[in-house]
Amino acid sequence: MTAGACAPRYDASGIALAQPSGPYKLASGDRLRIIVFGQDNLSNIYSVDGSGRISMPLIDAIDAQGRSTQQLEKAIEQRLRAGYLREPKVSVEVDTYRPFFVLGEVTNSGQFPFVHGMTVQTAVAIAGGFTPRGQRSYAEVTRQVEDQLVTATVPITYAVQPGDTIVIKERWF
């Protein structure tokens, strides 16, 4: 096992996989509804691309990765104010969150749309439930924390975030 290829591991009490505090941070895969008041041709749904940016008419590409919706609103307003509109008013909201992934001992592994308030248990239900060999009391969750991937063993009541990868291990009888 090479150290560079593996995410650090923590148990459920590990601080590195703590639930995020503060506003939701945008990332690749999120779809945003951006409204520029009084400018219907600029208002649309934009996707955050693989490089963490969105592309809008007039202002081209702008970084969205790691920003809150409020921070992105301000950045778009600044760009529009610099030569395009006098007093732009912008609203940004998440239209569709990036998906989460479920692997391992579930009926249907794959990518699924995120729903607020999800736990590992509800994510497994969305994936068709446990296989007969699936571990039913805990799972491994891998999440992007700051600039690194972190994996933790968590109870099935643990809250899922957009972009998480959940692995259901095989249980031993």
* Domain spans of the chain, in order of start: 7-20+98-168, 31-96
Note the CATH number of domain 7-20+98-168.
3.10.560.10
User: Across residues 59-65, what is the average pLDDT?
Assistant: 93
CATH class of 31-96: alpha beta
What does the pLDDT read at residue 36? 96
Written in H, E and C, the secondary structure of the chain is CCHHHCCCEEECCCHHHCCCCCCCCCCCCCEEEEEECCCCCCCEEEECCCCCEEEECCCEEEECCCCCHHHHHHHHHHHHHCCCCCCCCEEEEEEECCCEEEEECECCCEEECCCCCCEHHHHHHHCCCECCCECCCEEEEEEEECCEEEEEEEECCCECCCCCEEEECECCC
Global confidence as pTM: 0.80
What does the pLDDT read at residue 48? 96
What does the pLDDT read at residue 89? 96
User: Across residues 19-36, what is the average pLDDT?
Assistant: 88
